[in-house]
A and B are shown apart, each in its own frame.
Chain A
C-alpha cells in the first residue's frame, strides 16, 4: 500500500515565500496513514528512534482517532514532538527500520508525530505535574534542543532552572538555523513557551565565558551546570578569495535570514541580506540545502549546490533533497571550489572549481573524493554560501579551568553520565558529538538531566 501523501504548498507559491512547505496531515489523512501500520510484535521502528518513542502504540491511538492518548505516548519520550516530526532524518531512523519499508512505503512516522503534536499545540499545551521543589538550582548554558530538553526535565524534577543564551532569542539552531519554510518559528516558540511554563527562567543576551563564567555560576549558588552550546563555528574552505563581498558562511546567511528575519528587510526588519542572480552553495548537508532554498526564495534566478561527492553520499534529508529539486535548485556533483575571483570593487564574480572522482572509503565510510588533474573550470556567481560544516565553539573550554576537549574541540564527557572533567559540569548535544541531529541533542539533554538528578538528590 502507498503512503498517504503529505499535502504541500503549491510550487509557484513555495518558491516565493518563506511559508511552510509541508502542510501536515488532516485528521482523515492521519487516520488513514496510521491504519497502514502492521503493529509489529517486534517493532524495529522503535529501535531506530534515538529516544525510543513507543511508535506502534501512538500510531494505534491515531488510527483509533484518540489523539489525546497518542500525544501522551509521544510526550513520554519526546518533549519536542512538533519539531522532531518535522526535522528528524526519519529515513535513517524510525522510518528507515519500518517493516513496511522493505516492500513498499514505510509508515510516515514523522508526519504522524507532527500531526499529533500540532493537534496538541492547537488545543493549548497542558503543563505536566512537577515534583516538590528540591531547593537546588541548576544552570543550563545554551537554549538549543539539548539545553531546552534538559531544562524541562530538570524543572519537572523540582530544580530551579536558569538557561543562559548568548543570542537575543532562545532555540539555538531551531531558531537561527533551520528556516521558517521547514520549521515555522511559531512552532519553536510554542515549545519554548512550554519549557517556560514549567518554571524555567530563560535569560537571553548572556554569553557564558564572557558575561559570566562557569566558575562564577557555581559561586552564585548553582549546584550543577549543563553545557549545551552546540557546534556553532562556521568552517571555511580556506581557499583564495574567500573574504570577497557576497561570500557568506552558511551560519551568517541563515542567521541573517532566520534570526534577524532579513527576508522582511527593509519593511519589517532592519537587517539586510544580499542575494544576486546566480547563487552558489557549497556543501551537501541539510545546512547547504536550507541555504540554497533560502537563496531561491530571496530572488536568485539560478541557485546551484556544488558538492564534492555524489548524490548518494549527500547527508541531507531525502525529503528535503526532493523538495529542493522540485523547487528548481540545481546540483553539480563531484565538484570542489578551489578559489574565488572578484571584480575591482571586491565582489565575487566566479567560483574556480575542479572536478572530483571517488576513491576508497574514508573514516566516515563514504568514498573519498579526489581531484581530477587538469579539470579546472569556472562558474559565474554573485552570491556564494559556504556550508561545509560547523565546529564546536571554544569559548567555554577556553574560559573553564580543567575542562578537557578532544582534538576536534568537542567537550570530553563520561558517556554514561555526560559529566565533563570538571565536577558537576555536564555537557551534551553538538558540543560533545560535533554537528549531529536535533533528536540526538535532545536525548543528551535528557540523559544529563537524569545524571544531575542522581548527583544532586542521590536517586
Chain B
C-alpha cells in the first residue's frame, strides 16, 4: 500500500492487487474496508498495471472511512479490497468527445479519457475544482487529451465557474461533441446532463449511490434510469445521463447524514484524544 496526498484532503492510494489489476477495465470500481470494523466503500479504479499487479484509486476525505484510509501508514494494508466491480464502460469511436471531471470525479474521468483516446477519438477534457490547489491529475490528462480545460469555482485557475458552465460556453461557441462523459458530484452531473440535452449529445454519467456488497445482493445502490429500477453496482455505474432520476439519487445519498456526522465526531474525538 502506498499513499500520497495530491491536493488538500485528496489522496492517491496504490494497492498491490494482481487479480484485480489483471481484470480492471475503464468504468469499473473496487470496494474496500479500511479496518476490521470498517464500512464497505466503493472507489473508482483510476489507473492500474496488469503487469506489475497494482491498482490506483484517488479519494477525498469526507467521513470516517476516507479519513481512516488517509491515515494509513506506508506498508500498512487496507483490510479488504474486492473487484473489479461494475460493468466496464462502452468504448467506441465517436469522433470528438468531451470528458468532464468535477472534483475527485476527475479520478473516474481520467481512465475514460485515456481509453477514449486509445479508441481513436479526439478527446477534449474539462476538469474542475473549488480552487486551483484542488485541481488534480492535470499532467495525466494532458498525456491523453487533445485539449484540456480547467475551471475553478473561484477563478483562481482557468475558467471561473462550474465545469458545466464551461461546457455550455464551449458548445455556445460552436464546439461540437459527439459524446460527453461526466463524473463528479450529483448536482454537477445533473447540470452537465441539462447542458447537453438541448444539443442531443449522447451523455454518460458515472453514478455514486450508497453501496454495500457491490455484487447485486442488497439493492442499496438502486437508481431509477428511464423509469426502470437498476442496480448501479452491476448494471452501472455508468448510465445515460438524460434518463437518470438525479433527485432520487440525491435524496438516497443523504439517507445517513445524521449517523455519518455522529460517527465522524466520535472518530475525530478519539483521534484527538490519542494525538
CB-CB under 8 A for A274 and B255, given A205-B80, A243-B224? yes
**Is A270's CB under 8 angstroms from B83's CB?**
no
**Is A393's CB under 8 angstroms from B216's CB?**
yes
B266 interface residue (CB < 8 Å to A) = yes
A210 interface residue (CB < 8 Å to B) = yes
**Is B218's CB under 8 angstroms from A266's CB?**
no
**Is A210's CB under 8 angstroms from B40's CB?**
no
**Chain A interface category by residue count:** 35 or more
Contacts A245-B251, A249-B219, A251-B217 aside, 17 further interface pairs with beta carbons under 8 A come to A168-B80, A207-B82, A207-B85, A210-B84, A211-B19, A232-B215, A238-B229, A249-B220, A252-B218, A266-B262, A266-B266, A268-B37, A270-B38, A270-B64, A271-B39, A272-B259, A346-B248
Q: Which among A236, A246, A265, A272 has the greatest number of chain B C-beta atoms within 10 A?
A: A272
CB-CB under 8 A for A274 and B216, given A205-B82, A210-B84, A243-B248? no
- State in angstroms the CA–CA spacing of A97 and B162 once bound together: 71
The contact sample of 19 A-B pairs, CB cut-off 8 A, is: A168-B79, A206-B82, A210-B84, A211-B20, A232-B217, A242-B229, A245-B252, A249-B218, A249-B219, A251-B219, A256-B212, A261-B37, A266-B263, A266-B266, A270-B37, A271-B39, A345-B254, A346-B248, A346-B254
- State in angstroms the CA–CA spacing of A252 and B217 once bound together: 8
Instruction: List A residues at the B interface (Cβ < 8 Å).
Output: 166-168, 204-207, 210-212, 232-234, 236, 238, 242-246, 248-249, 251-252, 255-256, 260-261, 264-272, 274, 345-346, 393-395
Q: How far does the Cβ of B247 sit from chain A's closest Cβ, in whole Å?
A: 8
The residues of B that contact A166 with a CB separation of less than 8 Å are: 82, 213, 215
Report the nearest A residue to B260, measured CB to CB.
A272
The residues of A that contact B219 with a CB separation of less than 8 Å are: 234, 236, 248-249, 251-252
The residues of A that contact B222 with a CB separation of less than 8 Å are: 243
**Is B81's CB under 8 angstroms from A395's CB?**
no
The residues of A that contact B208 with a CB separation of less than 8 Å are: none
**Is A274's CB under 8 angstroms from B217's CB?**
no
Report the nearest A residue to B86, measured CB to CB.
A210
The residues of B that contact A212 with a CB separation of less than 8 Å are: 19, 23
**Is B217's CB under 8 angstroms from A255's CB?**
yes
Q: How far does the Cβ of B196 sit from chain A's closest Cβ, in whole Å?
A: 25
The residues of A that contact B152 with a CB separation of less than 8 Å are: none
What 1/0 flags go to B54-65 for Cβ under 8 Å of A?
000000000011
Q: How far does the Cβ of A368 sit from chain B's closest Cβ, in whole Å?
A: 26
Report the nearest B residue to A232, measured CB to CB.
B217
- State in angstroms the CA–CA spacing of A233 and B223 once bound together: 16
- State in angstroms the CA–CA spacing of A251 and B266 once bound together: 28
B33 interface residue (CB < 8 Å to A) = yes
- State in angstroms the CA–CA spacing of A212 and B215 once bound together: 14
**Is B213's CB under 8 angstroms from A210's CB?**
no
Report the nearest B residue to A212, measured CB to CB.
B19
Q: Which among B83, B212, B224 has the greatest number of chain A C-beta atoms within 10 A?
A: B212
**Is B252's CB under 8 angstroms from A243's CB?**
yes
**Is B251's CB under 8 angstroms from A207's CB?**
no
Report the nearest B residue to A205, measured CB to CB.
B82
**Is B216's CB under 8 angstroms from A233's CB?**
yes
The residues of A that contact B23 with a CB separation of less than 8 Å are: 210-212
**Is B215's CB under 8 angstroms from A393's CB?**
yes
- State in angstroms the CA–CA spacing of A256 and B263 once bound together: 16
The residues of B that contact A207 with a CB separation of less than 8 Å are: 82-83, 85, 215
The residues of B that contact A272 with a CB separation of less than 8 Å are: 256, 259-260, 263
B234 interface residue (CB < 8 Å to A) = yes
Q: How far does the Cβ of A230 sit from chain B's closest Cβ, in whole Å?
A: 9
CB-CB under 8 A for A168 and B82, given A243-B222, A243-B229, A265-B263? yes
CB-CB under 8 A for A269 and B81, given A251-B218, A255-B213, A395-B216? no
Q: How far does the Cβ of B10 sit from chain A's closest Cβ, in whole Å?
A: 21
- State in angstroms the CA–CA spacing of A27 and B266 once bound together: 45
Report the nearest A residue to B35, measured CB to CB.
A270
Q: Top 4 closest A-B pairs, CB basis?
A: A346-B251, A272-B259, A252-B218, A249-B219
**Is A270's CB under 8 angstroms from B263's CB?**
yes
Report the nearest A residue to B219, measured CB to CB.
A249
The residues of A that contact B254 with a CB separation of less than 8 Å are: 245, 345-346
CB-CB under 8 A for A245 and B255, given A206-B19, A210-B23, A260-B212? yes
**Is A395's CB under 8 angstroms from B266's CB?**
no
- State in angstroms the CA–CA spacing of A182 and B86 once bound together: 34
Report the nearest B residue to A246, measured CB to CB.
B255
The residues of A that contact B37 with a CB separation of less than 8 Å are: 261, 264, 268-270
The residues of A that contact B262 with a CB separation of less than 8 Å are: 266
